[in-house]
């Protein structure tokens, strides 16, 4: 991999486990269009490799991912993006979120998200598109009804309302209690436990794993999963066109970094609790 790679790729356990690592540590692995494209390429490589039985997604540095890229060099001028016509915004947002995440969800091999640090908004969506989620007990999850609105499918309708209305962070342990995370471990044990589970999965017959995954995903399709995701994406774009201020320029950042107001509110609540 080159020094400026956004995603690193390796295989372990004699090639049976592919490890896809988001590598924009400076930007807390913010999800830019370029990052999403490199993730797609890494997943495609893992799928094409017949030796790979399972794929693990992780983030390098202190966080899994801080969510959407709000202003790194990858995304350029924010004011110019916000001034674009709705047709341009709609297609750009669809290409950034629901389209790739639906592809990730449908990969024919089992996928595991290994989450530590922050997992905010779009990062929740990315983790949700994986089959299984392992997390450090002190990970920080924040969900919202963004462009890939999987939260009701992740935790159920009433829990989704309770969580979203309250705008609150969940620790990895709390996320496991409501069913979003399948296993939570002390931070120092997270990678070992995730890889141990991945090794067990890799011992399974790959075609049986593919059919298991297809059958479970198909159950959700019959219930309307993709139709709901695309409908919610349209709702989100309509909401984004209103006059409610969603972000604010950070007074502490010379680069003009923007902050999500709801993220800051949720962070202050977490600190006060």
Q: pLDDT higher for 109 or 242?
A: 109
d(CA 254, CA 48): 44
Q: What pLDDT score was predicted for residue 1?
A: 42
Predicted structure pTM score = 0.88
**CA nearest to 68, candidates 96, 100, 43, 107:** 96
d(CA 171, CA 18): 27
In the block, tokens 């490199």 appear at: 38
Helix axes 98-105, 225-240, angle to 10 degrees: 160
Strand order in the sheet with 183-185: 7-12, 17-22, 54-59, 111-115, 132-136, 183-185
Q: What pLDDT score was predicted for residue 133?
A: 99
- Domain architecture of the chain: domains with CATH: 7-272 (3.90.226.10)
Beta bridge partners of 120: 142
In the block, tokens 């309250």 appear at: 166
Q: Has residue 83 got a pLDDT over 90?
A: no
92 confidence band (pLDDT: 50, 70, 90) = confident
d(CA 108, CA 100): 14
The answer to whether 225 and 81 are in contact (CB under 8 A) is no
H/E element, 169: none
Tens digit of pLDDT for each residue in 204-247? 999 999 999 999 999 999 999 999 999 988 887 777 666 555 55
The answer to whether 112 and 198 are in contact (CB under 8 A) is yes
Beta bridge partners of 234: none
The answer to whether 142 and 121 are in contact (CB under 8 A) is yes
In the block, tokens 């890494």 appear at: 42
Q: What pLDDT score was predicted for residue 38?
A: 98
Cα-based distances in Å from 267 to 54, 159, 259, 271: 34, 20, 12, 6
Comparing 18-27, 83-92, 226-235, the range with the smallest average pLDDT is 83-92
Q: pLDDT higher for 249 or 128?
A: 128
Q: Has residue 2 got a pLDDT over 50?
A: no
Tens digit of pLDDT for each residue in 249-268? 665 555 555 666 677 777 77
Cα-based distances in Å from 85 to 32, 88, 173: 20, 5, 42
- Other residues' Cβ atoms within 10 Å of the Cβ of residue 90: 19
């Amino acid at each position: 991999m080159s020094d400026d790679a956004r995603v690193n790729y390796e295989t372990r356990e004699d090639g049976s486990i592919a490890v896809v690592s988001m590598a924009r540590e400076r930007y807390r692995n913010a999800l830019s269009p370029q990052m999403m494209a490199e993730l797609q390429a890494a997943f495609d490589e893992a799928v094409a490799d017949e030796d790979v039985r399972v794929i693990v997604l992780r983030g390098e540095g202190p966080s899994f991912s801080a969510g959407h890229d709000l202003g790194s060099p990858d995304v350029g001028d924010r004011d110019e993006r916000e001034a674009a016509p709705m047709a341009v915004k709609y297609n750009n947002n669809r290409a950034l979120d629901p389209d790739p995440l639906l592809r990730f969800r449908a990969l024919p091999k089992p996928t595991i998200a290994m989450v530590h640090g922050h997992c905010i908004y779009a990062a929740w969506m990315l983790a949700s598109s994986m089959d299984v989620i392992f997390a450090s007990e002190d990970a920080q999850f924040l969900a919202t009804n963004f462009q890939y609105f999987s939260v009701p499918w992740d935790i159920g309708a009433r829990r989704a309302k309770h969580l979203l209305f309250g705008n609150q962070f969940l620790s990895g342990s709390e996320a496991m209690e409501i069913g979003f995370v399948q296993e939570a471990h002390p931070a120092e044990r997270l990678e070992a436990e995730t890889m141990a589970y991945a090794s067990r999965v890799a011992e399974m017959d790959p075609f049986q794993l593919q059919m298991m995954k297809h059958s479970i995903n198909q159950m959700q399709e019959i219930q309307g999963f993709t139709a709901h995701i695309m409908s919610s994406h349209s709702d989100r774009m309509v909401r984004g066109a209103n006059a409610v201020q969603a972000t604010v320029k950070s007074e502490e950042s010379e680069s003009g970094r923007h902050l999500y107001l709801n993220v800051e509110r949720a962070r202050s609540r977490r600190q006060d609790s």
